[in-house]
């Protein structure tokens, strides 16, 4: 893990600089996690959409088949 470069440490670094650098690193990780979560969320949403479509198709086929059988009996 590298947080502060040696050059940065060799110079007189103020506490504000350290806080700013820590905030930058924190933000970097935060956005990386957002990116990864969103990328997988898109694919999960797509899978859920496919599952929903599959259910709807099966339901419609079952009801149409039932309707046709009923008509044939009549």
Partner 1 sequence: MKKMRNTIIYVLAIAATLILGIDIYRIAGLPEEQAQGAIFKIIFFHVPLAIAGFACASVAFVSSILFLVKKDFKYDALAVSVTEVGLAFLAGNLITGSIWARIIWGIWWTWDVRLTSALVCWILYASYMMIRHAVEEPTQRARLAAVVSIFAFIDVPIVYFSIRLFRTQHPAPVFFSSTGSFPPDWSFIVFCNLMALFMLGAIFTMIRLRQEETQRELDSLRRLAHAF
Query: At closest approach, how far in Å is the CB of 65 from partner 1?
Result: 7
Q: Which two tokens stand for residue 42?
A: 């898109």
Q: Do residues 5 and 22 touch, judged by C-beta distance below 8 A?
A: no
Query: At closest approach, how far in Å is the CB of 35 from partner 1?
Result: 4
Alpha-carbon Rg for the chain in angstroms: 29
Q: Which residues bind partner 1 (CB under 8 A)?
A: 2, 24-25, 27-29, 31-32, 34-36, 38-39, 42-43, 46-47, 50, 53-54, 57-58, 60-61, 64-65, 67-68, 71
Query: At closest approach, how far in Å is the CB of 33 from partner 1?
Result: 9
Q: Do residues 22 and 8 touch, judged by C-beta distance below 8 A?
A: no
């Amino acid at each position: 893990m590298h947080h502060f470069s040696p050059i940065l440490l060799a110079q007189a670094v103020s506490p504000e600089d350290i806080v700013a650098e820590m905030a930058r690193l924190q933000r970097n990780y935060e956005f990386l996690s957002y990116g990864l979560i969103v990328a997988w969320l898109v694919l999960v949403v797509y899978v859920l959409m496919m599952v929903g479509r599959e259910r709807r198709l099966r339901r419609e086929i079952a009801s149409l088949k039932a309707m046709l059988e009923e008509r044939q009996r009549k």
